[in-house]
Structure 1
Amino acid sequence: MRETITIGKDLTVRRLGFGAMRITGPDVWGPPADVPAALALVRRAVELGVTFIDTADSYGPGTSEELLAEALHPYPDNLLIATKAGQSRPSRAEWIPLGRPEYLRQQAELSLRRLRLDCLDLFQLHRIDPKVPLADQIGAARQLQDEGKIRHFGLSQVSVAEIEVVREHIEVVSVQNLYNLTRRDDEDVLDYCEREGIAFIPWLPVAGGGHASATGPLAEVAAELGATRAQVSLAWLLHRSPVMLPIPGTSSIAHLEENVAAADLCLTDEQFERLLRC
């Protein structure tokens, strides 16, 4: 199994990353109760070999980016921190797409400041705003790219048709959609990304629910491999496609270490197929 993936033809990272949403406070709002523990968690991820960290301006808002910079700046040369904009947080309970070009440009500038960077290696549109012409949203990204503020551009929660429209105006190097062992509605998007060499970043890569019970295919394969059910879920994703880049998040160092170890699991083709019955 390929251990790395190259994003945008020039940024090579390990195929199991870290999602930095849960280092914030409850409801992804404000700082965590234990800031030193959050900083230690992020540093431990890098110690374990993680080279891709995913965050967003809306996580906190801003808190996740600030904590990443506090924990890791100056950054290791091989570390890619990807961020997102386009999902506003007017209150703790609200996530509202906001794609006005002036807003996207402002949020990119704030992300640069919080992350202490001169250029964002991967800037992703968190959601397409249906109230703003798509050309205006992509135009903001193109302008940021022309100014050297972002290197590469990605999308989140999009269809194949939307990716194709966007690619008429700007190169798309990543797509971040909901996908896991039991929620595979976007198989067509994943297959498209694989054909086109676009990194596919599944959010919520380890799902809860009945499939994670002590019985069934997931439990069987976990017992056969001497692994946890969460580890098998991640191993299944890595087996599914060479463009897959899972970003499991956690606020626990123990769970982080468990997740990272999933990259060393090797499923047989029979085990992979059996897990499709979850």
Structure 2
Amino acid sequence: MRQRTIGKITVGAIGLGAMPLSIEGRPDERRAVATVHAALDAGVTLIDTADSYHWHAGERGHNELLLARALRSYGGDTSGVLVATKGGRGRPGDGSWTVTGTPGHLKRAAEASAGRLGVEAIGLYQLHKPDPAVPWAESVGALRDLLDAGTIRAAGISNVTTAEIREAHAILGAGLVSVQNRYSPAVRTGEPELRLSESLGLAFLPWSPLGGVSRSALDGPPGPAGAGTVFHRIAAERGVSPQRIALAWLLARSPAVVPVPGASRPTSVQDSARAAETELSEAELARLEAAPE
């Protein structure tokens, strides 16, 4: 698979968003583990998780524990796999999400995540979302403390503005390696954050990168060339899935981009991984650069 960098670490250009393996509607563990193994077989070496990726109350860290089991049971070499986890959000079990960005909480959360993942130091730890009740500098300062303590090897921030990126970069320096914001065919408002990340040498990890492109096309043949969005039309012309086209388009946006599409089936992650080798023509990119249709 084509490679990209996050800080000093080289990863496959397409990652795996592991959230669907643990939230509402999650697959059974056998299929979840098979999905992770299929990702590794396809050359995926970045797996994105969070301590809040769970379904029911009282199962915090479900996704981290699942990934640890999947990696242990994989028959191949996993030494080059980067598991990126996040802290600062919670799920009380009623479908809602909470935000807690106090330094004490983030430090305890990171230590607990390291324990569930079975690692001495977390390869990449990202602050999941700014807490409006806590000064941003204090939350980011907790990441600095975690870096200094060796609990994490690199830090990232998620769901942030350009001002928050600049402030975090000033506090963390080379310790800050990634920004994880929403960016997709349907949501392109993150362009300023993408360009700032690129200029600062930070990886940009789009979450929900397939927004606006239906997953249903993975389960059947491409539709007629005139159907759906321009992503669907180009996919039909090429005889591939629109998801693959969407991810290839994201990779073409910037060398800083490493998409982390979610998956809950081996076939889904295998298709996503093929986007790393899908080269779009200048004419196709020009069509895709237009506003979503």
Q: TM-score range by the shorter chain?
A: over 0.9
CA shift at 1:215, angstroms? 3.7
Question: What amino acid does structure 2 have at the position aligned with 1:150?
Answer: I
CA shift at 1:209, angstroms? 6.1
CA shift at 1:183, angstroms? 1.0
Deviations 1:49-78 (A, max 9, x none): 101001001001311100000010387111
SS of equivalent to 2:125: strand
CA shift at 1:216, angstroms? 4.1
1:118 matched to 2:117? The reply is no
C-alpha separation in 1, matches of 2:163 and 2:212:
30
Q: Which of 249, 257, 263 is 1:244 aligned to? A: 257
1:187 matched to 2:191? The reply is yes
TM score, norm. by length of structure 2: 0.88
1:173 matched to 2:177? The reply is yes
Matched with 1:77 is: 79
1:150 matched to 2:152? The reply is yes
Matched with 1:132 is: 134
Q: Which of 226, 235, 239 is 2:248 aligned to? A: 235
CA contact (8 A) 2:4 2:256 kept: yes
SS of equivalent to 2:260: coil
CA shift at 1:17, angstroms? 0.4
* Unaligned ranges ≥5, structure 1: none
Matched with 1:265 is: 278
Matched with 2:48 is: 54
CA shift at 1:7, angstroms? 1.5
Matched with 1:200 is: 204
Question: What amino acid does structure 1 have at the position aligned with 2:201?
Answer: G
1:63 matched to 2:67? The reply is no
Matched with 2:32 is: 38
Question: What amino acid does structure 2 have at the position aligned with 1:134?
Answer: W
CA contact (8 A) 1:181 1:276 kept: no
**How many residues align structurally?**
271
Structure 1 residues 209 and 243, CA, compared in 2 at 3 Å: closer, same or farther? closer
Q: Which of 12, 19, 22 is 1:21 aligned to? A: 19
Structure 1 residues 219 and 104, CA, compared in 2 at 3 Å: closer, same or farther? same
C-alpha separation in 1, matches of 2:27 and 2:166:
42
Deviations 1:1-49 (A, max 9, x none): x9222222x211111000010111416xxxx451111111111111111
CA shift at 1:207, angstroms? 1.3
CA shift at 1:106, angstroms? 0.9
- The runs of at least 4 consecutive aligned structure 1 residues that moved more than 3 Å come to none
Deviations 1:186-229 (A, max 9, x none): 1111111111211000001001369x982442222112322111
